[in-house]
Amino acid sequence: MFVQKAPAVNRCVRLEDAEKPRGEWNTLELVCVNGQSIHIVNGKVVMRLHDPRQPDGSELLPHAFGAISLQTEGAEVYYRNVEIRAITDVPSAFAGL
């Protein structure tokens, strides 16, 4: 079975580096609601996706459900105080960004 990969133009690129210096804790908020995904690092929006999609065979379907995964790319990482909350709208502090 051949699975077509999404084109490279669908890559996610952060808007800025809002991380704290090495050794300090960062705060990450990920808001996913109404077809949007907003990534917030230390209070700054670093990436916003509209209508994210996932490959399913030969189709790209709306990314509306699935597992929650925490990962790092090539470095050791520690997590603390992880919270998951249900929301119905984008928080007002990030709605206009």
pLDDT category of residue 7 using cuts at 50, 70 and 90 = low
Helices (H), 1-97: 92-95
91-96's contacts with Cβ under 8 Å and 24+ in sequence apart are 91/31, 94/31, 94/38, 94/40, 94/45
CA distance 32 to 75: 25
- For 33-77, the pLDDT digits (tens) are 888 888 999 999 988 888 888 888 899 888 877 788 888 778 888
Task: State residue 17's pLDDT score.
Answer: 87
pLDDT category of residue 10 using cuts at 50, 70 and 90 = low
- C-alpha pair distances (Å), 71 with each of 29, 74, 78, 92, 93: 14, 10, 10, 28, 26
pLDDT at 4 over 90: no
pLDDT at 1 over 60: no
> Phi and psi (nearest 5°) for 56?
-140, 95
Task: State residue 67's pLDDT score.
Answer: 81
68 vs 85 pLDDT, higher one: 85
